Structure 1
Amino acid sequence: MLQTPTLRALGPEDLTDLLVLIRRDPLVNLFVRSRVDATRLNQRWLGGQVLGYFEDGALVSACHAGANIVPVEATERAVEAFAERLLHATSRPSSIVGPQAPVLHLWDRVAPSWGPARSPRLDQPFLTMSADSAIEPDPRVRRILLDEIDTLYPASVAMFTEEVGVDPEAGGGGYRARVAQLVAQGWSFGIIEDGSVLFKAEIGAVSPEACQLQGVYVRPDRRGQGIAAGALAAVVEQARRSIAPVVTLFVNDHNLPARRAYERVGFEQTATFASVLL
């Protein structure tokens, strides 16, 4: 006899089943894998929940529900169930991010209550790279050091403000702490010349299979000079050697200069994401 589908928050006892689900597409599901590995589904550290959608007692879909809403292998019926639960939550997230189809479906369901979106980004090529670049890596790219955080931080704020459209410092000291955390982990790379950041990029999420590139920035007065491609090639090489074998990222469809740089480096589109910033 078929069981009624159920939805509930996952706990440590569900870890094995959730990892099986995530491994159906380990690159696309990288962010949630990184959160699961870091917290082991302990809500004290998760800063939210991971919702699980079950059919006939089996976990078929999941959804990270914290500051970021991120669906995992979400079927249409699962998205409907996630939306219903999220609409009854007492807090609102800052974004919905993930594979295009479930994100658009979820946004369609919650938009009447949560909308309008501050920045809907509904077509974002998801790019991957599993080999070093054919172009020469810029030898100036290296890991940022802890005593260089004061130099790095203004560039990080400028990048975030330009990309996301809000001042990351408005919410207190959390953003600086995150920048420092990435540096301490060895996930922040850059070119620093004469006390100024010429280029920087970070790894924001890591799993055994892959890592996710974010925060790519070239100082405004040096843009259009071909710096990004060689610098990115160096980041890919160093990240693949010391962090994870595949480098991923997603980029706004309309950001043609960035897309050209990624293509030149050797990234290939393997999926399509969407992000709704609230």
Structure 2
Amino acid sequence: MSFLRHRDRGRVQRGADRLTPVPSDQVSGVMSLCALEPVSAVGLVQQMQRWSRWGRGDVVALGGLAHPIAAAWAVGSLMPFGLAGRSEHGLRAADSGEIWALAEHARPRLSRRGSVSGPAQDVAAVWGALSEQGQRSRHERWRQPVLTAPHMGGGLVSAYLGRRSSQAWVVQAVRPARPDEEELVLPASVDMFVGELGYDPTADGLGYRRHVSWLIEQGRSYIVLDDGAGHPIRPGSPREVAFKADVGALWRSPSGGVAQLTGVWTRPDLRGRGVGAAALAGVVDAVYRDHVGADGVVSLYVNDYNAAALALYQSLGFRQVGLFATVLL
């Protein structure tokens, strides 16, 4: 069935009227909307907080600027939040005219290797309109469980080492990468990206390198270095990245700090040896300590077909709190 039936097409203009560009100095309405579900909305908030200014239409609100029902980042990629409605918060779903207007606004702004990503129900709400307007996907990932790390009084590391004390050197080696280690971190980040998205991000220019550099400068790229063979570094030994994970999104929401881990990667020769689990336990504890506080939330999302990653997260006590989707363009 056509996304927008003939009798609905008269609603498009009214939908467009309610598609409001959000100036960078008038974000309070969108931020209040995102605060209703901070774990689900942290990616959108991260985009808004990273830039002090943006172009007209880069961020848009549906339903008005002061009290929007939904919002989206629309530069290169589309990151919607709220389109499907949140009845538990008294928010209606966007109507077909509003969704059509958002798709029409966003489609010319999408890059060749962009994406549509966010809460699965919101991505599904807009993808039909984008498809009908001619947008094609490279790959669609409709089930990406959103997981949150456990709060443990003694820390996740203590609980993990109680079962795997042989990995103590790994958790002791977890730390933020230093700026002078960018050349070590970049190849690991690229390998993670290629494995996840299927192409080398450095082939498109310096943008990805700048992103890696920014994460390191912000103290948000955590690493474990080893001697290249799965052992601690000793004087004179080589140094390689054994594990890395980034705090890809971060927000001090009204209800507490929220961090979303991205780029979780274990060097292929070390997979299945407990290094990834030990290192991730150390990263979670470090992110609570360094970024979100004891009352915060550390989250991540994972493809449902990645059985190894899901098993790792479950072994550490992560629990599912939502569902994301990503459509790769």
State the TM-score, normalized to the length of structure 1: 0.90
Change (3 A) 1:168 1:23: same
Corresponding residue for 2:230? Answer: none
Of the three residues 260, 274, 277, the one matched with 1:226 is 274
Alignment deviations for residues 148-201 of structure 1 (CA, whole Å, 9 cap, x no partner): 111111111111111111111111111111111111111011111121111111
- Cα offset, 1:107, TM superposition: 1.4
- Cα offset, 1:59, TM superposition: 1.8
Q: Distance in 2 between matches of 1:266 and 1:252?
A: 17
3-state SS of paired residue (1:43)? coil
- Cα offset, 1:130, TM superposition: 5.0
- Cα offset, 1:16, TM superposition: 1.4
- Cα offset, 1:222, TM superposition: 1.1
Alignment deviations for residues 37-96 of structure 1 (CA, whole Å, 9 cap, x no partner): 2335x215x9x6111111697422111111221112122424333123224x35546000
Root mean square deviation, CA, Å = 2.1
8 Å CA contact 1:121–1:276 kept in 2: the answer is yes
- Gaps (5+ residues) in structure 1? none
Of the three residues 215, 226, 243, the one matched with 1:199 is 243
Q: Distance in 2 between matches of 1:255 and 1:91?
A: 27
3-state SS of paired residue (2:261)? strand
Identity %: 32
Residue 53 in structure 1 maps to residue 62 in structure 2: yes
Corresponding residue for 2:231? Answer: none
Q: Distance in 2 between matches of 1:57 and 1:186?
A: 34
Q: Distance in 2 between matches of 1:193 and 1:225?
A: 14
Q: Distance in 1 between matches of 2:145 and 2:324?
A: 6
- Cα offset, 1:206, TM superposition: 0.6
Q: Which has the larger radius of gyration?
A: 2
- Cα offset, 1:27, TM superposition: 1.0
Q: Distance in 2 between matches of 1:210 and 1:117?
A: 30
Residue 103 in structure 1 maps to residue 115 in structure 2: no
State the TM-score, normalized to the length of structure 2: 0.77
3-state SS of paired residue (1:221)? helix
Corresponding residue for 2:319? Answer: 268
8 Å CA contact 1:156–1:215 kept in 2: the answer is yes
Q: Distance in 2 between matches of 1:198 and 1:264?
A: 20
- Gaps (5+ residues) in structure 2? 1-13, 84-92, 162-167, 228-238
Amino acid of the structure 2 residue aligned with 1:183: I
Corresponding residue for 2:51? Answer: 39
Q: How many residues align?
A: 271
Corresponding residue for 1:165? Answer: 198
8 Å CA contact 1:189–1:235 kept in 2: the answer is yes
Q: Distance in 1 between matches of 2:313 and 2:299?
A: 11
Q: Distance in 2 between matches of 1:12 and 1:180?
A: 25
Structure with bigger strand share is: 1
